[in-house]
Amino acid sequence: MPPIAYLDHAATTPVRPEVREAMAPFDGDVFGNPSGIHAVARRAKTALEEARELVAAVLGCAPGEVIFTGGGTEGDNLSVIGGARRAARSGFGRRIVVSAVEHKAVSAAAEALVPEGFEVRVVRAGADGIVDLDDLEQAIGPGTAVVSVMLVNNEVGTIQPLADVADRVRAMAPRAVLHTDAVQGAPWLDVAAAAAPADLVSVSAHKIGGPKGVGALVVRDGVALEPLLIGGGQERGLRSGTVDVAGAVGLATALRVTAERRAADVERVGRLRDRLAAGLAAVPGVVPNGDRTRVVAGNHHVRVTRVAAEDLLVALDREGVCAAAGSSCASGALEPSHVLAAMGLSRAEARESVRFSLGYASTDADVDRALEVFPRVVARLRGVTEPAPVG
């Protein structure tokens, strides 16, 4: 086995040691259901509420505004579907506006509402990978129920102008709720400040060194949603089901540690990423995707002309370099990226594009390894394994 250079932090991150330690008691003594009234339950309840306070502190909201979820997808679904259904019930709107570069947890949720009589408007993005604010203005109207624009794109890493988005939404659709998927923003940006203009903010633990299957949704005071999971009425009735206390503690710890080290990590990882980008750029036919001046520190996204991304990823994997492209479908095959399509790349160009994503765990050795392997495999593959002509 070659040494592993893990450059896929946007997919997931290793669990931080601090998180593992904080979660450990919940594999043992602290097993209570936080909804109970006795001593065992109270210990769990205390841990849960302390976690909620910590999450609130990092995300810049009140503890009562934090809803623990089963991850980023659930937060996105609950915001879009729950927000739209509540607006419809109140009779003020049936339009959902999402950007063309949203994660499918948002865009598919919006599409799923069409049979319920909702209208979905998709806002264009430019070749820079940034949502088009003029097109957003065209899309929003008084009947808009929900607007969802992500904080940072999961594929090309572009930081979206959320404050400008919010200005337009408030001016043109004052009753609309504004949701932002901050899953990819959380590792790099101060979400409290960056997502402040949004009514709903979803984050996921496993992108920041926390466990998989847990996240949080900030639901600002006064914002009404219809729940997706109903039953015992936990989490202010917005998310029934016994809360994953260990997961909540893991999320809170991951958020805290990430926030504490943010400034240093952004600088250190940004330097690593810049070195990677420069090294890749030295290989002929390596073209960056999107506006590389407006991306988070960990992301690098390039098109490697005349090499199928699928083959490049396999060749890199065989030499221990873990990277990604597009999104995987249920079978594990790569699907041509809707984000790159929205940015104007052809299907063939999208199939030549790969993402390298660094994270808190990235080291100089990872970048060294990638830069040692990449030119060699590109030279070998170039032209031999071009993507199939699109018939």
Partner 1 sequence: MSGGVDSSVAAALLAADGHDVTGVTLRLWGGATDSGCCSVGDVEDARRVAAQLGVPHYVFDEADAFEASVVEPYVRAYDAGATPNPCVACNQELKFGRLLQRARALGFDALATGHHARIRHGADGVSRLVRAHDAAKDQSYVLVGLTQRELAHLAFPVGELTKPEVRARAGALGLRTAEKPESMDVCFVARRDRVEFVEARVGARPGVIVDLDGNEIGRHDGIARFTVGQRRGIGVAVGERQYVVDVDAIDNVVTVGPPAALLRGSVDLVDLTFTHARPGPGDVLDVQVRAHGTPRRGVLVGDRVELAAAAPRVAPGQIVALYDGDELVGGGVAAA
Binding footprint of partner 1 on the chain (CB under 8 A): 308, 310-311, 314-315, 317-318, 329-335, 380-381, 384-385, 387-391
- Pick the closer one to partner 1 by CB: 163 or 379: 379
- Pick the closer one to partner 1 by CB: 267 or 317: 317
CB 328 within 8 A of CB 298: no
Residue from 275, 243, 294 nearest 356 by CA: 275
Residue from 105, 102, 84 nearest 93 by CA: 84
Q: Residue 247 to residues 59, 97, 210, 253, 316: CA-CA distances in angstroms?
A: 17, 31, 8, 10, 33
SS3 335: strand
Listed in order, strand segments (DSSP E) in 58-196 are 66-69, 95-99, 119-123, 144-148, 177-181
- Pick the closer one to partner 1 by CB: 190 or 311: 311
* DSSP code of residue 305: T
Distance between CA 153 and CA 142 in Å, rounded? 27
Please, what is the minimum distance in Å from the beta carbon of residue 8 to partner 1?
Answer: 15
Please, what is the minimum distance in Å from the beta carbon of residue 332 to partner 1?
Answer: 4
Please, what is the minimum distance in Å from the beta carbon of residue 115 to partner 1?
Answer: 18
- Pick the closer one to partner 1 by CB: 273 or 303: 303
Q: Confirm whether 61 is a catalytic residue.
A: no
Residue type, 327: S
- Residue 331: CB atoms within 10 A of its CB come to 7
Distance between CA 162 and CA 176 in Å, rounded? 15
Please, what is the minimum distance in Å from the beta carbon of residue 249 to partner 1?
Answer: 31
Residue type, 129: G
- Pick the closer one to partner 1 by CB: 116 or 317: 317
Q: Which of 1, 37, 39, 329 is catalytic?
A: 329
Please, what is the minimum distance in Å from the beta carbon of residue 103 to partner 1?
Answer: 20
Torsion over CA: 305, 308, 312, 315 (sign) = negative
Catalytic residue IDs: 329
